[in-house]
Structure 1
Amino acid sequence: MSAAMKFALSMAIFGSIGYFSAKTNLPAIELVFIRCICACVVLSIVYLFSQRKKEAIERKEIGYSVLCGVFLVVNWVFFFRSFEHMSVTVAVSIYHLAPVLVVLLGSFLYREKVSLKVLLTVIICFIGTLLVGGIQDYLSFDDLISAGLPWAFGASLFYALTTLTGKKIAKLNPILTTIIQTSVGIIMLLPLVRWDYFNHLTGENWFYILLTGIIHTGFVYYLFFSSLPKLSSGTIAVLVFIDPAVAIFMDIVLTAYRPDFLQIIGILLIFWGQTHAALKRKMSESGN
C-alpha cells in the first residue's frame, strides 16, 4: 500500500470515530483511558518487531514527548466530551479550527509578526465557530456552556498545542513517541476512572470499545506515522480533509443530522480558514 493510501485510510478511520464512540456507552475519560491502553499495547508490539537497530534517545525529546502526551490526552478527553453535548458534525467542524490556532499560537510563541491576513482568518473562523455552534439559539452564557461549545473549542486548542510541542520532537521514533504519550495518558487518567461505568456494558459496547482502541487508535497511528514522513506538505494538506468529510457524511447519513443554513455557512468559513492556515504553514515550512 502506498504512503498516500495509508494516510488517506488513516484519515477516513479518524473521521468515523465520532459515530463509533457513541456506540461504546462510555463517558469521555473512561473511553480515552481504554483507548490509551489499547494503543500502547498495539504500538509497543509494532515497535518491538520493527526495530532493526538501537536508536539514540535524547532526554530532552523524552520530556517534550511527555508534555505532548499531556496535551494530547486532554485533547482526546475534550473531543469525546464534546460528542456528549453536540452533533458530530458541529464538534468536528469546531475541532478543525486547530490549524488556524497553530498558526496564531505559533506566531506568538516564535515571535513572528501576526499579519493582517492571519488576523482576518482568525476572525472569520471565530464567526464560523459561533454560527456552527448555533450561537443564535442560546439566550445565556450558561446555555452556551451546556451546549458543548467550550469542549470542542478546548479540544481544538489542545490539539494545536500538541502540534506545536510535537515540532520539538525531531529524532525520536514517532511510534515510540506515541507509546510514551499513551503511557502518560494511562497514568493521568487512572485516578479519574470510574470503574462502575464498566459494570453494565453489553457485548456490543465492548466490541465498539475495543474497535475504537485497537483500530481507531493503535492501527490508525501505525498507518499515520508510517506514511507521514513519505508525503509532501501539499499532499497532507489535501488528504487531511478526508477526516471531517467522513465524519460529517456519517453524521448526516447514519444519524440523520441536518445542519441548518447558518451552520452550513459556519462550516464553510471554518474549512476556508483551515485551508488558508494549511497553505501558510506549507509556505513557511518550505521557506517561501
Structure 2
Amino acid sequence: MQELTYIKKQQRGLIEMLLAMIICGTIGLTVVLSGEEASNLIFFRCLFGSLVLGFICFYKGLFQSTTYTKVFWISSLIGGIALQLNWYLLFSAYNNASIGVATTVYNIQPFMMVFICALLFKEKITKSILFWLLVSFIGLYLISSTKVEIIETYDVYIIGILQALGAATLYAVASISAKYLVGFSPILIAFFQMALGILVFFPFAKFEIFSTSNFQEITAIITLGVVHTGLMYILLYGAIQKLEAYKVASLSFLYPVLALLIDRFYFDVHLVVLQVVGILLIFLGAAGINLRGFIDTFLKDQSKSRS
C-alpha cells in the first residue's frame, strides 16, 4: 500500500514538473508577444501572479498560520529584489540575444550559486566543479563567437548574453536567500516577493496598455502573471516536494530545450554549428553540476556491491 502511494506521488510529481517546465519554456515567447518593456511587464507579472498566489495562501490559511520572523522578512526582501532584477535582465536578454540563446546562457546559474556560496560561506570548489565550469564556459565562448541572424548587431548580441549571465547571478542570489527560509511555505514566500515587485516596479507601470494594446499583447501580459507565475510556482513547488532532487534537476533541462525549439520553429532562428556545440556543452556542464552528487553516490554504491 505504501509502495502504491509512493508511485502515485512520484507520477503526480513528474506530471507537475513536466507542466511547470513546459510553462517555463514558453516564458520567452510570451514576453516577446506582449511587446512590452521589461519593467512594465514585470509589474503586471507580479500583480496578476500575486492575485493567484494570494488566493492560494488565503485558501490554505497560510497568512494566519505563519509566524513571521526577522529572518523571514530580510531573506524575502533580498530574494525578492534579486528575483525581480533577474527577470528584468532576462526579459531584456530575450530581445537582444534571442530566447533560446538567452535561456541557455541563463542555465549557467548553478555555477553562479557555487561561486557565491564559496565566497560567502567558504564552501569548497572541487576539481570536478572546475572541470564542469570549464566545459560550460567553452560552450559560452562558442555561443558568443557569432551572433544569431535575427539580431541586428554583434554588440547587441553580446549585451544580451551579458544580461543573461547577470540574470543567472541574481537568480543564484535569490536561491541562496531561500536557504534561510526553510520551514516557510514556498508559495507564501513567492506571494510576498510578488508583492515586493509590485511596489518596486509601480513607478514604471503603464495602465494605458489595456486600451492601446491589441488582444494578443493583453493576453500575453495576463498569461505571464496568471500562468507563468501563479500556476507555474504552484506546479513547481508541488513537484519539488514529491520528487527526488536529481529528477527535478534532470527535468529542468526541458525548459531551455523548449525555448530553443520555439526559437527555431516560431522565430525561424538558425544557429551555426559552433553555437549548437556551445549549447550542448553548457547543458553538459550544468548537468554535471546538478547531478554530480547523485552520480558519485551511484558509483560508490556500484563499487560496494561489487566488492
Q: 1:110 aligns with which of 100, 112, 121?
A: 121
Give, in angstroms, the shift of residue 247 of structure 1. 1.1
CA spacing shift, 1:273–1:204, aligned 2, 3 Å: same
- Secondary structure of 2:212's counterpart equals coil
Q: Which residues of structure 1 form unaligned runs of 5+?
A: none
Distance, in Å, in 2 between the alignment partners of 1:106 and 1:277 is 14
Task: Determine the C-alpha separation between the residues in 2 that align with 1:64 and 1:100.
Answer: 21
**2:98 counterpart residue number:** 87
Query: Does the 8 A contact of 1:104 with 1:118 survive in 2?
Result: no
Q: How does 1:272-287 map to 2 (within 5 A)?
A: 272-280=284-292
Partner of 2:83: 72
Query: What amino acid maps onto 2:291 in structure 1?
Result: L
What one-letter code is carried by the residue in structure 2 that aligns with 1:121? Answer: W
Contact 1:103 1:281 in 2 (8 A): no
Superposition misfits of 4+ residues, deviation over 3 angstroms? 134-137, 144-147, 192-199, 280-285
Q: Does 1:130 align with 2:161?
A: no
In 2: Cα distance, 1:216 partner to 1:169 partner? 23
CA distances 1:196-233 after superposition (whole Å, capped 9, x unpaired): 66663112210111111111111111111222112111
Hey, what's the Cα distance between the residues in 1 that align with 2:74 and 2:294? 27
Asked if 1:58 is matched to 2:82, the reply is no
| Aligned residues of 2:147 and 2:157 also touching (Cα < 8 A) | no
Q: Which residue of 2 aligns with 1:160?
A: 172
Q: Which whole-Å CA distance do the structure 2 matches of 1:278 and 1:252 have between them?
A: 26
Give per-residue Cα distances to partners, 1:46-69, cap 9 Å, x unaligned.
111122872333221222011100
CA–CA separation in structure 1 for the residues paired with 2:220 and 2:206: 19
> TM-score, length-normalised on structure 2?
0.85
Give the whole-Å Cα distance in 2 for the aligned partners of 1:234 and 1:175: 22
Q: CA RMSD of the aligned region, Å?
A: 2.6
Q: Counterpart in 2 of 1:40?
A: 50
Bigger mean CA offset, 196-205 vs 249-258: 196-205
Distance 1:200 1:7 in 2: 36
Q: 1: CA distance between counterparts of 2:144 and 2:24?
A: 22
Cα offset, 1:121, TM superposition: 2.2
Shift in Å, 1:104: 2.4
The TM-score normalised by the length of structure 1 is: 0.90
Q: Is the 8 A contact 2:144 2:158 kept in 1?
A: no
Name the SS for the 2:163 alignment partner.
helix
- Return 48-57 or 199-208, whichever deviates more: 48-57
Equivalent position of 1:120 in the other structure: 131
Match of 1:5 in 2: 15
Which one-letter code corresponds to 1:32 in the other structure? I
Q: 1:17 aligns with which of 27, 40, 54?
A: 27
* CA distance in structure 1 between the partners assigned to 2:57 and 2:270 by the alignment: 43
Tell me the CA shift for residue 133 of structure 1: 2.8
Deviations 1:229-276 (A, max 9, x none): 121111111111111111111211111111111111110111111101
Task: Give the SS at the match of 1:2.
Answer: helix
Q: Aligned residues: percent identity?
A: 26
Q: Which structure: larger Rg?
A: 2
Identify the structure with the greater helix proportion. Answer: 2
